[in-house]
Amino acid sequence: MRMGYADIYAKWKADPEGFWMDAAGAIDWAQKPSRALNSQNAPLYEWFADGMVNTCWNAVDRHVLAGRGAQPAIIHDSPVTRTKHILTYAELQNRVARLAGALRAKGVEKGDRVIIYMPMVPEALEAMLACARIGAIHSVVFGGFAANELAVRIDDSTPKAIIAASCGIEPNRVVHYKPLLDGAIELATHKPDFCVIFQREQEVAALTPGRDFEWHGFQYGATPAECLPVEGNHPAYILYTSGTTGQPKGVVRPTAGHLVALNWTMRAVYNVGVGDVFWAASDVGWVVGHSYICYGPLIAGCTTVVYEGKPVGTPDAGAFWRVISEHKVKSFFTAPTAIRAVKRDDREGALMKQHDLSHLQALFLAGERADPDTIKWAQDCLGIPVIDHWWQTETGWAIAGNPMGLGLLPVKIGSPSVAMPGYDVQVLDEGGHPVSPGTLGAIAIKLPLPPGTLPTLWNAEDRFRKAYLDHFPGYYETGDAGYIDEDGYLYIMARTDDVINVAGHRLSTGAMEEVLASHRDVAECAVIGVADDLKGQSPLGFLCLNKGSNRPHADVVKECVALMRDKIGPVADFKRAVVVERLPKTRSGKILRATMVAIADCKPWKMPATIDDPAILDEITEALQGIGLAKG
């Protein structure tokens, strides 16, 4: 009889190392690890450190060796280009080995970094896997980021090579990747040795002689590379996430723990395995794209869907259901924002009813808090479990969820359910003491974190300790606030820092404030996240202008919006700002952002005891009302 969640969690808690050594048995090792956990450098822990293993072998080659070479590995479905394409595991193996061989011939070796700057095309996954094949460390940068954001990541990771596409395709425009790449390299202090450009037929980019190589020509005649086993603690990739200072944090993902954890989750959490079709409607630039578009499904022998389109507008709000029906998707994973957009355009689910969704067993939501109305709507329309689960870029997989593969638990809408094996989740007060059930506090995870989670930040161990470990010794600080109820169900209520969540993308208000402050007329500024029915949160700027500035406020706001688009990119979704005389602050100079958010969202709030001048809040309220907010 299959063990249920409670038994599995208890088994892990009784013998954590034995639990994960058992899970490691499902991975192909060149040299098996002698033990699961290395705690010699606690609180910096490592998993399977002395094992030797290769990610690409486990994601591709072993499936071909097992006789499944003809099985589809990747389905590329691109409504924006009106094309569909299937790559089998055998085809994927050949393409990845050839690209890896070309990179190796050009001098890319184990430990070298390679930045990948590509849209949702199979070649993006090929580039990731090719790096893994030869032990190079990739860092995927979302194509929506502007040149200066890419430049920051170039300087931090110091890549030997950059692999990019000539362009990305949006429903109504072509996004010019190559000029952004050229601008980033010009801005960056570090210069890559070379770039490989995948030329798309929608836009053929000009190549820089001596530095840039065309994708196909670069690989022509290359000797295919075999898989190079690496140490278990060797970084598979670096993924940058927003930091409160505006300087992105390079999350390091260790190879062996990544393999073991993702393979375990595919069956336990998502209930899929060899031959099943799994679709995560995300982007390879985000952690979901790493874990559950590229690596997780392929490690588990599934078929993964790479979708180049939108939830609505390509062509309509039935796009998701068309893909699920056509490709017989068994488990589907997306952000609540996407389902909200579909719901807004098709409230009655008429477009959904036009498609055969009989293969779909569950809808998984993550990336932001899933509001009850959206979950209920999806449940009513689909007639299947709609599962909210919670995790972070730093963890790489679910901290809490309702594990489909271990038998569904009772659903409590508003909660991502319970902690997964590997995570001892606790709610702490400011002194670091566990609080009673139902009491709001800081959500923390008792160390060590499980396999697959970050062991450190790239070249920033001190920052890692300060950001995650120092506040609550013996715990990993998640940066989220919430509570656990009497039944052990977790509720995520808010961030405890100033990183806001826009359509599932975590963005730093500090970075946005730096952009606004660079405007010649802006003396001081603040950015907050206000509630947005579609995107969860939307950034709003407050601008205090330089004395003597007599320019029209509307012109300054328009220029700030354009500046934000140029410096951070459309992903910031920065469209609104108001000019105010001054910002509400404490006597010590801290801006009262939480109070401003409460006013904008028409939530109850109390006059802060430490406020410098209470009258400022009346001015803030009036300014917000002028743009349609604070009207409760």
Domains observed in the chain: 499-625 (3.30.300.30)
Q: Is 124 exposed, middle or buried (0-12, 13-18, 19+ CB in 10 A)?
A: buried
Amino acid 369: pLDDT: 72
Q: What average pLDDT does the segment 565-572 reach?
A: 88
CA distance 128 to 123: 9
Tell me the mean pLDDT in the region 389-395: 95
Cβ(494)–Cβ(551) below 8 Å: no
pLDDT tens profile 334-373:
988 889 889 878 888 999 999 999 999 999 999 877 877 7
Task: Quote the mean pLDDT of the chain.
Answer: 92
Q: How confident is the model at residue 424 (pLDDT cuts 50, 70, 90)?
A: very high
DSSP 135-179: T-EEEE--TTS-HHHHHHHHHHH--SEEEEESEEEETTEEEEHHH
Span 55-93, pLDDT tens digits = 999 999 999 999 999 999 999 999 999 999 999 999 999
SS3 call for 211 = coil
Name, in order, each residue with C-beta under 8 angstroms of 26's C-beta and a sequence gap of 6 or more.
260, 263, 264
How high is the pLDDT of residue 503?
Answer: 81
Q: Which of 313-317, 489-493, 529-533, 628-632 has the lowest mean pLDDT?
A: 628-632
31-67: b (≥16 Cβ within 10 Å) or e? ebbeebbbeeeebbbbbbbebbbbbbbbbbbbbbeee
Q: Is 138 left (phi over 0), alpha (psi -120 to 50) or beta?
A: beta
Amino acid (one-letter) located at 372: P
At a CB cut-off of 8 Å and minimum separation 6, what does 565 contact? 146, 572, 574
**C-alpha–C-alpha distance, residues 395 and 422, integer Å:** 11
In the structure, what pLDDT confidence band is assigned to residue 608 with cuts at 50, 70 and 90? confident
| Half-sphere CA count of 608, side-chain side, radius 13 A | 22
- State the residue for tokens 């009850």: 372
pLDDT band at 599 (very low <50, low <70, confident <90, very high): very high
- Alpha-carbon distance of 446 to 426, in angstroms, equals 7
d(CA 567, CA 565): 6
Q: How confident is the model at residue 144 (pLDDT cuts 50, 70, 90)?
A: low
Please state the rounded mean pLDDT for residues 586-593.
66
> How would residue 299 be classed by pLDDT, with cut points 50, 70 and 90?
very high
pLDDT band (50, 70, 90) for residue 588: very low
Q: What are the Cα distances from residue 498, in Å, to 146, 430, 478, 527? A: 21, 18, 13, 9
- What are the helix (H) ranges across 336-414? 336-345, 372-382
More confident residue, 439 or 445: 445
Tokens at residue 358, please? 């009989």
> How distant is the alpha carbon of residue 342 from its chain centre?
21
Q: What is the pLDDT of residue 19?
A: 98
On whether the CB atoms of residues 442 and 427 are closer than 8 A, the answer is yes
pLDDT at residue 325 in the model: 98
- Please tell me whether residue 83 adopts helix, strand or coil conformation: strand
As given in the structure block, the two tokens for residue 36 are 């699961």
Instruction: Quickly state the pLDDT bin for 414 (edges 50, 70, 90).
Output: confident
Sheet holding 194-198, edge to edge: 212-214, 194-198, 161-165, 113-117, 137-140, 235-241, 249-254
User: What does the pLDDT look like over 25-36, one tens digit per residue?
Assistant: 999 999 999 999
Q: Residue 72 corresponds to which tokens in the numbers above?
A: 């589809």
Please name the residue that has the structure tokens 């010699």: 40
Q: Of 57, 83, 5, 1, whose CA–CA distance to 409 is shortest? A: 5
CA angle 451, 453, 456 (to 5 degrees): 120
Q: How many CA atoms, within 13 angstroms, populate the side-chain half-sphere of residue 584?
A: 23
Confidence at residue 96, expressed as pLDDT on a 0 to 100 scale? 98
